[in-house]
Amino acid sequence: MSIKRVKLFIGGEFVESETTQYIPVTNPATQEVIAEAPCATPAEVERAIASAKEAFKTWREVPVSERARVMMRYQALLKEHHDELGEILAQETGKTIEDAKGDVWRGIEVVEQAANIPSLMMGETAENVARGIDTYSYVQPLGVCAGITPFNFPAMIPLWMFPMAIACGNTFILKPSEQDPLTPTRLVELFEEAGAPKGVLQVIHGGKEQVDILLRDPQVKALSFVGSVPVAEYIYRTGTEHLKRVQAFAGAKNHSVIMPDSNKQTVINNLVGASVGAAGQRCMAISVAVFVGKSKEWIPELAEQLAKVQPGAWDNKDAAYGPLISPQAKQRVVSMIEQGKKEGAECLVDGTNCVVEGYPDGNWVGPTFFSKVTADMKIYQEEIFGPVLCAVEVDTLEEAIALVNANPFGNGTSIFTANGAAARKYQHEVEVGQVGINIPIPVPLPFFSFTGWKNSFFGDLHAYGKQAIRFYSETKTITARWPESEIDNGPNMTIKLQ
């Protein structure tokens, strides 16, 4: 059986790459190679950049209302093909079908926001800033923008990027993860069907070599990235060194603080889903549960519930989550679990020998739960990116806040409590960008922005929401006088408006 070769999308056409280097795309549950992604040649990357630059000349002049209509048609097509996209995504990532559909839906929500672009692109005005002088501003696009997306959300995160950028009047080059490129390819097909002009969106595939061209080419004005901390640092440093606007979303170590006045069963249910859902491959997963005071008494019951969770194949309706994305990812998670045992943490639930019937070659790791974890342990300090939850015990809310604030990451956190004063204190004092109160994974809806802090984000402006508009645009301010007569008061030798 011939293996499907993923194509590049350049100049409005899907084209076979001229490369001789291909990356296998595997089913994480079976290791079957389901496709091959090309490593685009340098000439192909440059051709994509040139095509995007040429398309920008005309796309920037398209009325904002017409750009909005493209997004309206696009979101309608995404909804129409929602289940199909979910199946494609599930098969190449291993996610359960419901989780895959959720990935697609969160992306659709961002496209809906992009359809509101006319109001989001409005500038400001002020009349008579000086006698007979008015000032007003316009929001204008930057030019060619680029996005580099990770494997764990192959629908949502590309849809964070190119719809907002293109709605602002830019053109865009997408470099999706080479581990699951089939979902982004289908997203692009639907975007073309929605009426996007040729050249507005380009797609290239590959790895570091292809990314480096985007980072260094002066025609690329802004670049958005989501991925690991080391790569995010590299992207940010290299991109800004080449005078680009960069937003780089990185890793996390998200804490959930459990107050003893919270509802025990609600807490347990939420911790199970937020820690091992999607096999823990979420930058907003809860990986540390901080039990305050007597809430530590719930740890044995949480362990019992986690032990009942079973992973499985994407089309198994009883599966709680799927495999890890690759054998390498599994090996790293298993090695971290072994490290936790060596460091003295108590492994109450051990998923290292997980077996799923019928799928002996899958990248399976079962739910894993450590208690008696301390802040000096590697399993606490590093993002594991697997179905592993660490329990830490403290006596007071103040200690919990100090623990979270001392952590170098700041993506998301949550607190479970029935006390409004405790919730208010936590949300005010915690040094984390996204806070949930009795909500485990506080990913904001797209009329807000995704606002990670500290080492979870490198840059100044965040994804989607109003900050995305600012990231993908420039503000031009005009100060104008239209005198009613030819009266000339002579030269003004000061900076003051007269």
Is the CB of residue 497 less than 8 Å from the CB of residue 479?
yes
| Sheet of strand 473-481: strand arrangement | 125-130, 133-141, 473-481
Q: Select which of 145, 168, 283, 354 is catalytic.
A: 283
Instruction: Please give the DSSP secondary-structure letter assigned to residue 277.
Output: G
| 466 Cβ neighbours under 8 A, 6+ residues apart | 120, 449
Cα separation values, 192 from 154, 176, 189, 249, 327, Å: 18, 17, 5, 28, 35
What is the C-alpha separation between 323 and 363, in angstroms, rounded?
A: 5
- Among all chains, which residue has been given the structure tokens 């697997």? 386
Is the CB of residue 376 less than 8 Å from the CB of residue 390?
no
Query: What's the distance, CA 158 to chain centroid?
Result: 8
| 242 Cβ neighbours under 8 A, 6+ residues apart | 215, 216, 218
Amino acid at 43: A
What is the C-alpha separation between 353 and 239, in angstroms, rounded?
A: 42
Is the CB of residue 264 less than 8 Å from the CB of residue 298?
yes
Told to judge if 283 belongs to the known catalytic residues of this protein, a careful annotator would answer yes
Instruction: Please give the DSSP secondary-structure letter assigned to residue 2.
Output: P
String of DSSP letters for 134-186: EEEEEEEE-SEEEEE--SS-TTHHHHHHHHHHHHTT-EEEEE--TTS-HHHHH
Residue 16 structure tokens: 């076979």
Q: What is the dihedral of CA 17, 18, 23, 28, to 10 degrees?
A: 30
The bridge status of strand 254-258 relative to strand 286-292 is parallel
Buried b (16+ CB within 10 A) or exposed e, 83-103: eebbebbbbbbbbbbebbbbb
- Among all chains, which residue has been given the structure tokens 């790293």? 332
Cite the active site residues. 283
